[in-house]
Amino acid sequence: MKILHTADWHIGKVLHKHLLRDELLLFFDWLLDLLEKEQIDLLLVSGDIFDLSNPAVKDRQIYYQFLAKLIQLNIQIIITGGNHDAVGLLNAPQSILQELNITVIGGAKKIIEEELIAIKNKKGDIELIVAAVPFLRDKDLRSIDIDAQFNNRTEAIREGIKTHYATLADICELNYPKIPTIAMGHLFAKGAETSESERDIHIGNAASVDSSIFPDTYDYVALGHIHRPQIINKNNFIRYSGSPIALSFSEKKDNKSLILLTLENNKISTPQVIPIPKFRSLTKFTGSLKKVKDDLSKFKPDFPLKSFVEIEINESTFSAVTLASVDDLVTQYGEGESFTILKARTNFTEKAIDTAALFSEGEHIEDLKAIDVFNKMMEHQSVDEEHQSMLKQAFVEIMESVTQSED
Binding positions for Mn ion, rule: CB under 5 A: 8, 48
CB 131 within 8 A of CB 105: no
Q: ∠ at Cα 147 (141, 149), nearest 5°? A: 125
Residue 323's nearest CA partner among 347, 290, 301, 354 is 347
* Nearer of residues 136 and 311 to Mn ion, judged by Cβ: 136
Q: Which is nearer to Mn ion, 135 or 218 (CB)?
A: 135
**CB 83, min distance to Mn ion, A:** 7
CB of 22: closest distance to Mn ion in angstroms?
19
Q: How far apart are CA 246 and CA 281, in angstroms?
A: 8
Asked whether 284 and 309 are in contact (CB, 8 A), the reply is: yes
Check if the beta carbon of residue 22 is closer than 8 Å to that of residue 279.
Answer: yes
Rounded to a whole number of angstroms, the minimum distance from the CB of residue 137 to Mn ion is 15
Indicate the residue among 23 and 48 with the shorter CB distance to Mn ion.
Answer: 48
Look at residue 372 and give its three-state secondary structure: helix
In this complex, which beta carbon is closest to Mn ion, that of residue 82 or of residue 301?
82
The least distance separating Mn ion from the CB of residue 107, rounded to whole angstroms, comes to 16
Please enumerate in sequence order all residues whose Cβ is within 8 A of that of 333, keeping only pairs 6 or more positions apart, or say none: 296, 309, 339, 340, 341
| Sign, CA torsion 122/128/131/134 | negative
Min CB(27)–Mn ion separation in Å: 15
3-state DSSP assignment of residue 233: coil
Closer of 8 and 254 to Mn ion (Cβ):
8
345: nearest Cα among 296, 320, 310:
310
Closest to Mn ion by CB, 8 or 41: 8
State the residue number with the nearest CB to Mn ion.
48
> Shortest distance, CB of residue 47 to Mn ion, whole angstroms?
7
Total H helices, total E strands in the chain: 12, 18
**80 alpha carbon, distance to own chain's centre:** 17
Our CB check for Mn ion shows the closer of 6 and 76 to be 6
| In contact, 130 and 179? CB cutoff 8 Å | no
Provide the minimum distance between the beta carbon of 248 and Mn ion in the complex, in angstroms, as a whole number. 11
Three-state DSSP class for residue 256: coil
What is the smallest separation between the CB atom of 188 and Mn ion, expressed in angstroms? 10
Task: Considering the complex, state which of residue 165 and residue 240 has its C-beta at the smaller distance from Mn ion.
Answer: 240
